Amino acid sequence: MKPAKKEAPTIYQLAPEIKPGQSIELLKELHILTRDGKLNQDSRRKLKQVYHLVQFIEPLLKDVGENVTVVDHGAGKSYLGFILYDLFFKGRENAGHIYGIETREELVQKSTELAARLGFPGMSFLNLSVAESTESDKLPATIDVVTALHACNTATDDAIDFALKKHAKHIVLVPCCQAEVASVLRKNKGRDLGRSALTEIWRHPIHTREFGSQITNVLRCLQLEAHGYQVTVTELVGWEHSMKNELIVATYKNLPRRRPAERLQQVLAEVGLEELSSRFYTESTTSEPTP
Ligand SMILES: C[S@@+](CC[C@H](N)C(=O)[O-])C[C@H]1O[C@@H](n2cnc3c(N)ncnc32)[C@H](O)[C@@H]1O
């Protein structure tokens, strides 16, 4: 009887998008690569999107240097955290730690198991809401970089609150839809419509929603500036599948705070959102310490 033919190992050409040293196992686990190492149309787009965001975050990590602490809020499957770790933390002593905050327990468990399997000791996942994580003793008192990518509704606002309280050096936000501001605009519409012709901007229901979303991000930017941050707002290109592609990057520069704080209060008053001043608090409306 002829001896059985030995199975030849599968050799495949890696897609050019895969960077040298990048973990193939990770990309397969995240379903970015198929089992035979191929990138399909959807995963090619997903990878392009994550790389695009990583490109904004890389200089921020370099700015901090060693022992960088990163907290990713509303981490989901932690694509961003894992790819950041794989590209910039893996195998480097004193590189730092990435924490993923996520309310869905099964995702936290899966990510924890995956990090253990890949030998990524500098990653932790906490089953907490963003608001709970601000008070949690499982996180350090200060955090260098805070990210929140499509964290739902007011979770982005909670991530800003977290970043301010943790004295973050850099904050990277891609906000999701936020319903709170629109609901207050809607509630006060009857009261406010006669006040100024500009209330026409949010009279129709669809405009209430869209303007609510737009003004939310304006208020977030003013709040960050009112805490001494330099803020850049840009579009997260490559994110064509999502309407929510506004990228807000804030870097602490200890800039003068008075004017943005005054502007924030004026905008809240002009559009009848005074009751949200504690949501978009500034140092002049609280006794928050400066970062
Ligand atoms: C749209 S997904 C985005 C996931 C991931 N950041 C990404 O872009 O691939 C939003 C995630 O935030 C989580 N989430 C929503 N509200 C949260 C909160 N208050 N605290 C922590 N996680 C939250 C959801 O469970 C979900 O996994």
Most ligand 1 atoms within 8 A of CB, residue of 138, 150, 173, 243 to mutate: 150
Pocket flag, ligand 1, residue 136 (CB < 6 Å): no
Rounded Cα gap, residues 31 and 34, in angstroms: 6
pLDDT in tens, 106-115: 999 999 999 9
Burial 80-97 (b: 16+ CB within 10 A, else e): bbbbbbbbbbbeeeebbb
Domains of the chain are 18-174 (3.40.50.150), 178-231+246-280 (no CATH)
Rounded Cα gap, residues 75 and 98, in angstroms: 11
Which percentage of the chain shows pLDDT scores above 70? 91
Rounded Cα gap, residues 186 and 203, in angstroms: 9
Q: How many CB atoms lie within 10 A of CB 286?
A: 11
pLDDT in tens, 240-254: 556 678 999 999 999
Q: 9 pLDDT band (50/70/90 cuts)?
A: very low
Atom of ligand 1 nearest to the CA of 76: 27
Nearest CA to ligand 1 atom 18: 129
Residue 79 pLDDT > 60: yes
Q: What is this structure's pTM?
A: 0.92
Rounded Cα gap, residues 107 and 127, in angstroms: 9
The predicted pLDDT at position 240 comes to: 59
